[in-house]
Amino acid sequence: KKCNEKGHKPNTQACNRAKIVAFLNHCYRKRWIKNKIYFPRIENTQTQIKYVNEEIFRKIMSLETVESHFKRAFFFYLSTGCRRAEPFKGDLLGNHLMINCETAKSKTTRYVKLTPLMRATVIEMRARCAEQIAKYGYKQKSIEMRYAKEFKKACRAISVEDLHLHNLRNSYIVIRWAVTGDIKAVSEEVGHANIKQTMEYSQIPPMVIADKFPTYEKLITERLKQKESSNTFNKMLEGNSNAESGLGAQGLRAIEPARLT
């Protein structure tokens, strides 16, 4: 009832429900309550993956109302797939940002490779954070949230209402999936706790992603061609294709290497 009064969407309510259920289950394991408590599921939760396509991102980056610092930060989030707080909490180790298991959402350590520009952006973001804490006494979390607010403001400036800063991370994931085709590697790369979470992104056809991100169209197309080529032999061996391929039982015996005598 409280969530409905605040106008929370089903996904937000589902997140709140998960926390409540986790707490109730903890109480049951500790024997603070005698029985498990049933908490109804939230209906109509949205499963559509939202991402910032190339056209929208270009429009945001061309806005004169957005400070250069925030534009560099947006580019960093899109290029690394980092969560909002990770550039502030991670450890800089050479050309890598180490996301420590103690602060990571998935409780696993991972390393994000940085280009010189990305590394400079992380240093700049941290310097700005330290300055505002020292000068105004702001809390770090409120400084981190400023990036989300600036992104939301930029989206509204180009008449886009349904995107958030986290959707830049989604963009990175769908691009990496479409280019590599390796959902397990992408899951480890972005620090998902469970590969099932990453599998949701793989439901978007690669060519749809290629249309939304023309810069990567060539890479995605070449990857799909290689995949199709590698599957050709398997298709030839399928039962329904034996007659057409000429590689039935007799055909396979015909190409069998000669036995040594």
Mean pLDDT for the chain overall: 87
For residue 116, how many other CB atoms are within 10 A of its CB? 8
d(CA 254, CA 257): 9
Can you state the angle between helices 116-136 and 68-80, rounded to 10 degrees?
A: 130
Q: Please say if the pLDDT value at position 205 is more than 50.
A: yes
Q: Identify the CA nearest to 52 among candidates 165, 221, 189, 158.
A: 165
Tokens linked to 177: 């999936």
pLDDT exceeds 60 at position 253: no
Predicted confidence (pLDDT) per residue in 133-162, tens digit: 999 999 999 999 999 999 999 999 999 999
pLDDT band at 1; cut points 50, 70, 90: confident
Per DSSP, what are the bridge partners of residue 93?
96
What does the alpha-carbon distance between residue 30 and residue 170 come to, in Å, rounded to a whole number?
37
Question: Model confidence over 96-137: pLDDT tens digits?
Answer: 999 998 888 888 899 999 999 999 999 999 999 999 999 999
The 8-class DSSP code of residue 248 comes to S
How do beta strands 110-113 and 91-93 pair?
Answer: unpaired
Q: Is 86 helix (H, G, I), strand (E, B) or coil?
A: helix
pTM score, two decimals?
A: 0.77
Q: Under 8 Å CB-to-CB from 62, ≥6 apart: which residues?
A: none
Q: CB burial class (10 A; 0-12, 13-18, 19+) of residue 28?
A: middle
- For residue 193, pLDDT over 80 is answered with yes
